[in-house]
Copies of this chain bind each other. A is one copy, B any other.
């Protein structure tokens, strides 16, 4: 990760100087970060002392405090909180699932995690007959058989795709819209396979998105080993009854904050370059890759430039966005306020694809315009980064692009881009 963080920094200074001068500056920046980076230590503290930090949770407040302290220590000229309302979903206690097969007495446990934003079942849980649905086509084919059932989606992650993020995006449709699509035909609950190419049994969660015109039904992800066993039984035609209990609930919106630190520009202090990651993370784990790394990447940009004694011409804002995971309220708030205040945002860069080997950047420019960036490739090649692809920024900076037309980009590590 030491090697990553400077990549973000590279984009945060604007110089009219020759490539040789740029090349030397980048070398100094690289050395500052490779030798004296605080990114790993910052990530350790965030993961181990704050841990899960979903919007509205106590972890959220702790993470905001961590962000303010860490940005101040990194040398920000000023640090502040930008308030925004965030959804407050809680998993609740005693989440559980098991199933029985007709003719057998054993209760077979399922490792599950309720999907974010899911409604619960209530403390008594529900016991429902399971029906296997292979994919959305199969859902349509079986639409008359779903009433009162628990739909088990056999959404197999496509491990044949070399770009894991592509498979994640495709499979993710079952998490996002699978519950409502099943509810449309009268299903009472949904289990999906974890959106993951792994072979372990740890369930992976993420948000579901209900169609508000349909009944909201409880939904959870299963660990892949448990999913394989359950689905094999259903494929073999066994009658399976599933018990599922979740005390998940959505409470009234809470008050959250984007945490912002600024390195004030010398020539254009009121023109902004934003670099950020999101501060929130799912509740059961520590959120190292998603998106602790993005936060420490962004903070390191500021720290390294400051440590080098470099004052940027434009103001650099490090933004640790609130609530990316289940609402995007932080990213939207940042763009709304920028628009309301008439701020000029010249560029925004996000890191939310994990702390893996860097490959390049996805940029919100058409290929013809992006081709000009190829002039930078020789500057970046010595550090292992040589791909600019035309695409979007990440979820938190895209609102700036939509509202203000700001060019936005996202760091693409291995797995996201080749």
Spell out A's residues near B (CB within 8 Å). 2-3, 30-31, 34-35, 159-162, 356-357, 359, 381-386, 414, 418
Contact = CB atoms under 8 A, between A and B. Distances in A.
A35 B158 CA distance: 9
Contacts of A414: 357, 384, 414
Protomer copies: 2
18 contacts: A2-B159, A3-B162, A30-B160, A30-B162, A31-B160, A34-B159, A34-B160, A34-B161, A34-B162, A162-B382, A357-B357, A357-B414, A359-B384, A381-B418, A382-B418, A384-B414, A384-B418, A385-B418
A416 to B, nearest CB: 11
Given A3-B162, A34-B162, 11 more contacts: A30-B162, A35-B160, A162-B383, A162-B384, A356-B357, A357-B414, A359-B384, A381-B418, A383-B418, A385-B418, A386-B418
A34 B163 CA distance: 11
What are the nearest 6 A-B pairs in CB distance?
Answer: A384-B418, A31-B160, A357-B357, A357-B414, A162-B383, A34-B160
A41 to B, nearest CB: 10
A357 B35 CA distance: 23
A133 B414 CA distance: 41
Nearest to A30: B162
Q: Which residue, of A30, A359, A383, A384, has the highest number of chain B Cβ atoms within 10 A?
A: A384
Contacts of A382: 162, 418
Nearest to A6: B162
Contacts of A386: 418
Nearest to A356: B357
Contacts of A356: 357
A35 B159 contact: yes
A142 B361 CA distance: 50
A189 to B, nearest CB: 31
Nearest to A162: B383
A384 B30 CA distance: 24
A35 B197 CA distance: 10
A65 to B, nearest CB: 27
A417 to B, nearest CB: 8
Contacts of A359: 384
A311 B383 CA distance: 40
